């Protein structure tokens, strides 16, 4: 994907991010809902566009119903876009959080993301039976960059999910992911 070159007088709302606040995929600001992400070993990716160079100091998610497995954990990270509107190379494996209790689950990071680039925020769970997280309803997602399929019906895809054994995130996002068209789990970055 070609880099975005900002022009003089561009006041796109995506360019403005307040320090200390969290930002996720393309959202409108609708009320949060919840989404089950209880399936273990499913690596999910959601788009995150950076219109202007920004530093981030946290990556987080909000657990609304705790995982009840033996070792309920979730791993968070970031991938670059591969140029084809699909996650490519790993930018950051932020580590894992316990999801055995509700609340904000965050990891400290120190990361600058480049101007005009598309990134992918990712989550994968281990033994996450019953896990539900804060999410944005499908109707409140601002835009789908993945486009509609040839039927022009149903819900447009808003991200990807692919089977992946739990552990360190792979250096390159696996090929063959299925479209995700459910509420978007709110994986968020906090602007430094």
Please name each of the domains of the chain with its CATH number: 30-191 (2.60.120)
Q: What is the pLDDT of residue 149?
A: 77
- CB of 56 closer than 8 Å to CB of 115: no
Task: Report the share of the chain in percent with pLDDT over 70.
Answer: 88
Query: Averaged over 165-180, what is the pLDDT?
Result: 96
Residue 11: pLDDT band by 50, 70, 90 thresholds? Answer: very low
Kind and range of the H or E run holding 5: none
Within 13 Å of residue 29, how many CA atoms lie on the same side as its CB?
2
Of 4-8, 70-74, 133-137, the poorest mean pLDDT is in: 4-8
Strands of 82-164, DSSP E: 87-98, 103-113, 117-126, 132-136, 159-163
CA distance 56 to 111: 5
pLDDT of 40 over the 70 cut: yes
Q: What is the pLDDT of residue 59?
A: 98
Query: Averaged over 104-114, what is the pLDDT?
Result: 96
pLDDT of 140 over the 80 cut: no
pLDDT of 155 over the 90 cut: no
pTM of the model: 0.89
Burial label, 169 (beta-carbon count in 10 A; 0-12, 13-18, 19+): buried
Per the document, the length of the chain is: 192
pLDDT of 9 over the 50 cut: no
Query: Averaged over 122-131, what is the pLDDT?
Result: 93
3-state secondary structure of 45: strand
Q: What is the pLDDT of residue 98?
A: 96
CA distance 125 to 139: 25
- Bridge-partner residues for 21, per DSSP? none
The residue among 185, 78, 168 whose CA lies nearest residue 132 is: 185
Task: Report the share of the chain in percent with pLDDT over 90.
Answer: 60
Q: What is the pLDDT of residue 151?
A: 80
pLDDT of 105 over the 60 cut: yes
Residue with tokens 């930002």: 23
User: Which tokens in the block code for residue 172?
Assistant: 């390159």
pLDDT of 143 over the 90 cut: no
């Amino acid at each position: 994907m070609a880099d975005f070159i900002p022009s003089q007088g561009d006041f796109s709302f995506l360019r403005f991010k307040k320090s200390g606040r969290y930002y996720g995929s393309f959202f409108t600001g609708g009320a949060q809902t919840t989404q089950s992400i209880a399936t273990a070993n499913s690596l999910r990716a959601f788009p995150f566009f950076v219109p202007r160079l920004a530093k981030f100091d946290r990556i987080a998610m909000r657990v609304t119903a705790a995982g009840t497995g033996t070792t309920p954990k979730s791993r968070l990270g970031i991938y670059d876009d591969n140029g084809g509107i699909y996650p490519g190379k790993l930018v950051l494996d932020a580590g894992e959080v316990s999801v055995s209790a509700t609340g904000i689950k965050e990891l400290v990071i120190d990361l600058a993301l480049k101007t005009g680039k598309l990134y992918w925020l990712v989550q994968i769970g281990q033994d996450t039976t019953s896990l539900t997280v804060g999410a944005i309803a499908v109707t409140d997602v601002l835009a789908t960059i993945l486009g509609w399929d040839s039927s022009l019906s149903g819900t447009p895809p808003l991200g990807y999910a692919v089977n992946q054994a739990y552990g360190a995130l792979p250096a390159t996002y696996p090929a063959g992911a299925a479209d995700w068209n459910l509420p978007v789990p709110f994986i968020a970055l906090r602007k430094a």
